[in-house]
Structure 1
Amino acid sequence: MAYLQFSGQNIFDGTRFLGPDQVIITTADGTIKAIIPMADAGEDVQKLNGIIAPGFINAHCHLELSHMKGIIPEHTGLPDFILKIVNERHFPEEVILEAIVEGEEAMLAAGIVAVGDISNNALTAAQKQKGNLAYHTFVEISGWKPSIAEARFANALQVLSQFRLIEAAASLNPLKNSTNPLKSSFSPHAPYSVSSLLWQMMMPHFEGTTVSIHNQETSAENELFTKGTGDFVRMYNSMNIDQSHFSPTGQNSLPSYFPQLQKAKNILLVHNTTTSEADMDYANHLSKQHAQDLYYTLCVNANLYIENKLPPIELLRNKKSTIVLGTDSLSSNHELSILSEIQTITKHFPAIALEEMLQWATLNGAKALQLESQFGSFGIGKKPGVIVIDHLKNNQISQQSTVKRLV
């Protein structure tokens, strides 16, 4: 069997740097065989000018919106962004499918190996079935009016069944698909878009699964729950959505909905731009009480694109939160690149060590999506993908850095 040997300026194994004098050995298909000292590796070593790391995990993406790249202007604010998504997302199916293929190709080129992908329909199913990337598909459910809860949930069940069919088909061809597994589960869209009745319908389906929810992406979300006023009320009015069923809780949105996630195994809170310290304390306490793993998903480029704000990353770090990274969609980002997300974080938070951010982008993301048995670290026998990141500056990723997939 042929083996590949790589060394670089450093090797990051998913949790820590191993130093520049190490060599990683893989089979031709990317299975990790060993990490050994350079002195024991012989001469057949590809010496690279960069950091070698496991493939990136994109923990939050909307691949089905790839056709909307550049359509929505920046800095609209979230409620107006949502209005534009609702009103402008309808394109001919062939255009959407072509953009899905291009979006996946862009992620492959960006060193991404696994994706937590939000799906409101099954248009991404055919591409996912090709097995180019591993996917956890979050079948997203929304519906603010109680009168549409039953229809929305029935539609979500149908979409989930379509993804479960391709998962079953993949399991019948283990040689082709064991490398890039497919999983799926239900996920509520956001606190401001799910009625109490719809919550009750989906809650039993959370048990033992990973659940993702858009959380506190804008201050308007907290205003809706504390006071019943603000830009989301304006958004509902413009969409002719009756709000009489909703009563403000007098609390921020997170404590208002979080108990309804208690059956989930893993919880991904996405965006968190206006999450307070008290909110974090509440979520951390309740998730521990229910033996859940809680992940805070950062999509900083999308936050800047939509609201021109950044999440409280230093507060999350001070709270010892488990952080993962996502790209959101091409409707709210210029590219589907985890490296670009790290570059933006580095620009605004230069004191955060690269070692820490790389763990967010690899092992943490794999654990969040329950894919750590294969992805996220250089464990012997795993096939996590091997990437190299170049053009470092002072042991940190620079704006000139690029990423390349090695295997």
Structure 2
Amino acid sequence: MKTFKADYVFPVSADPIKNGVVTVDDYGKVISVNNEETADPNVPFETLSGVIVPGFINTHCHTELSHLKDKIAPGNGLISFIKEILATRAADPQAIADGAKAADQEMYDNGIVAVGDISNTADTVEMKAASKMYYHTFVEILGFIPERAEQVFNSALETAEKFKPHPSSVTAHAPYTVSKELFKLIKRYSDANENLLSIHNQECEDENKFYRYKLGGFIDLYKHLNINIDFFKPQARNSLQSVIPLLTNKQNILMVHNTCTNLKDIYFIKRFDRRINWCFCPNANLYIEKRLPKVELFVNQDLNITLGTDSLASNTKLCILSEMRTLQQNFPSLSLELLLQWATINGAAFLGIDNTKGTIEAGKTPGLNLLTGLDGFKITDDTKVKRLV
């Protein structure tokens, strides 16, 4: 067994414990959580300066794009980013494998214990099978041409099978790349099978312009790709409002990025019986669009909010602490306790692993991280994370 004492323990499931003491067995299972006064005096402990928190949950990543680190210039907007991804993502299989393996190790070292990972191929099957972290792979479907819906859907199902027995599901990429016909196929499958969903949502204003008026940068993108979208009719409402009725009410659904989601969108969703969760990836939003979501709109709305890193193509590191730091610096009213909920238990609940991860409670194997360099309970530029278990 290992026993750690720190200035504070944040179990997340309960109030912070001053002079907290956590004991885990050799497999990382929590045996007890106490304060110094109630801890067993006969058990020696390692004294640490800082705050012990549960292992982090990264609900949105693209490990198969890790070989593109530093390859795409920041700040040019989503449509330019998409064009560059399409032009540069093909690479030597070994380079892709090496990039994914390095990304996996980086996340582990940064205290991440579980990952919701987007894949378009089977390139990361071996990496995930050997990883020390929990992975759920979302096999992403792109197909805006109605006639190709069944073909691309069946291809995604075949790819998802290659990740088993590890958890996998098929999911839509984004409203602007998935036809109504394809959304219907995904819904039919999700209504009948366990099939967690993760969808890129409203990353830029052009997405809403495209859906409302059939105007904006996506028109140029499809011309660039030589794809005829004459069939698509403007919906007179934002993209999120347009696709929500096409989604299943049987599965948890993660809306990722939400950079241009507004209060009307949030209220619209509340009218539907959909199991919507939200993911913020602030560093990627700044990298691509140089802007952040209206995070304050989501607070105090009784919403399940999670955090993600996106890929190394759109971020300089894969670190949930870094995402928390960016949020707290830009939205000072966000407390450490709230950010930790987003970074731990909320992500675990979305992935369906909250029975073992997300909080420091007896019987769980959440992983333990030590945060140092805090200013009280504020994250600073000096705050670091060290994995304990």
Q: Distance in 1 between matches of 2:300 and 2:290?
A: 23
Answer whether contact 2:17 2:34 (CA < 8 A) is retained: no
What does residue 302 of structure 2 align with?
320
What is the match of residue 258 of structure 1? Answer: 244
- Aligned partner of 1:52 in structure 2 is 52
Equivalent residues, number: 385
Counterpart check, 1:371 vs 2:353? yes
The aligned counterpart of 2:229 is 243
Unaligned runs of 5+ in 2: none
- Number of the residue aligned with 1:142: 142
Structure 2 SS opposite 1:52: strand
Distance in 1 of aligned mates of 2:142 and 2:250: 18
Q: How far 1:154 sits from its partner (Å)?
A: 2.2
Hey, what's the Cα distance between the residues in 2 that align with 1:102 and 1:94?
12
The one-letter amino acid paired with 2:107 is M
Give deviations 1:103-123, integer Å, cap 9, x for gaps: 000000000000000010111
Report how far residue 36 of structure 1 moved.
2.1
- Amino acid across the alignment from 1:14: V
What is residue 103 of structure 1 aligned with on the other side? Answer: 103
Amino acid at match of 1:27: D
Tell me the equivalent position of 1:23: 21
CA deviation map 1:144-180 (0-9, x unaligned): 112332331122011011112xx1xxxxxxxxxxxxx
Question: Structure 1 vs Structure 2: percent identity of aligned residues?
Answer: 39
Structure 1, unaligned stretches of length 5 or more? 168-181
Residue deviations 1:34-80, cap 9 Å, x none?
11231233261111111101100000000100000011101111111
Alignment root-mean-square deviation, CA: 1.3
Q: Secondary structure at the match of 1:339?
A: helix
Q: Does 1:217 align with 2:199?
A: no
Matches within 5 A, 1:47-196: 47-164=47-164, 167=165, 182-196=166-180
Which amino acid in the other structure matches residue 36 of structure 2?
M
What residue in structure 2 maps to residue 175 of structure 1?
none
Q: Counterpart of 2:65 in structure 1: which amino acid?
A: L
- What is the identity, as a one-letter code, of the residue corresponding to 1:201? L
- Cα distance per residue 1:286-341 (max 9 Å; x no partner): 1xx35x3x211000000000000100110110423221000000000000000100
Cα distance in 1 between the residues matched to 2:225 and 2:131: 39
- Rounded to whole Å, the distance in 1 between the matches of 2:139 and 2:97 is 18
Q: Distance in 2 between matches of 1:56 and 1:35?
A: 18
Equivalent of residue 381 in structure 1, options 358, 363, 368: 363
Contact map agreement 1:302 1:327 (CA 8 A) in 2: yes
- Structure 2 CA distance, aligned partners of 1:98 and 1:235? 31
CA distance in 2, matches of 1:396, 1:196: 45
Normalising by the residue count of structure 1, what TM-score does the alignment of the two structures yield? 0.92
2:43 is the alignment partner of 1:41: no
Q: Distance in 1 between matches of 2:188 and 2:248?
A: 10
Q: In structure 2, what is the equivalent of residue 267 of structure 1? A: 253
Structure 2 SS opposite 1:397: coil
**Matched-pair contact (CA < 8 Å) for 1:210–1:264:** no
Tell me what 1:278 maps to. Answer: 264
- Quick one: distance in 2 between partners of 1:87 and 1:405? 37
User: CA shift at 1:8, angstroms?
Assistant: 1.1
The separation in 2 between residues aligned to 1:17 and 1:389, in whole angstroms, is 17
Residue deviations 1:227-262, cap 9 Å, x none?
Answer: 001001111111101111111110000110011212
SS at match of 2:215: coil
Structure 2 counterpart SS, 1:392: coil
Match of residue 398, structure 1, among 372, 380, 383:
380
Q: Which residue of 2 aligns with 1:177?
A: none
User: Which has the higher mean CA deviation after the structures are superposed, 51-60 or 207-216?
Assistant: 207-216
Are 2:226 and 1:227 equivalent residues in the alignment? no
Q: Is the 8 A contact 1:16 1:355 kept in 2?
A: no
Alpha-carbon offset, residue 381 of structure 1: 1.1
The residue aligned with 2:326 is 344
User: Equivalents in 2 of 1:230, 1:264: separation in Å?
Assistant: 34
